[in-house]
Amino acid sequence: MQIHVDEENRRITFLYKLEDGVAEGSFGMHCAAMCGIPNKVIERAEVAAREWEHTSRLKESLELAKTGCYIPLGVLSDVASLLRGEPGKDGEAEEFSEQSVEVLLGAIEAL
């Protein structure tokens, strides 16, 4: 259903016109504000919703990682950083440093 969203005042106007596509969101917080729920409660709910969404995405990444076919981006970044090594005399990073490989192997063994 088509709607008009006023983010500043947390108000939505239902335009009662069906249109193709996916909804931008649930706008539950907007509806709560329109029903008179105190802003303090809505703001806490928004924080909780963001935290839940973040946690949900992390959980999904971990579940995919358990299947062996997915490595979360954060892990890839950490491994790349470990393997980059210290800059050499020419300013370029060495391909691998012995200490980095040892740290990486230790982390793998801990799994």
Q: Note whether 45 and 53 are within 8 A (CB).
A: no
CB 83 within 8 A of CB 101: yes
State the Cα–Cα distance between residues 100 and 84, nearest whole angstrom: 8
Per-residue pLDDT tens listing for the chain (111 residues) = 788 888 888 888 888 777 787 777 778 888 888 889 999 999 999 888 888 877 777 777 777 767 766 666 666 666 766 666 655 556 565 556 677 777 777 777 776
Residue 48 is assigned to a structural domain of this protein: no
User: How many folded domains does the chain comprise?
Assistant: 1
Cα–Cα distances in Å, from 79 out to 38, 96, 108, 111? 46, 11, 11, 14
For 99, the domain range is: 71-111
The reply to whether 62 falls in a domain is: no
Is 28 domain-assigned? no
The answer to whether position 38 is within a domain reads no
Q: Considering the entire predicted model, what is its pTM? A: 0.40
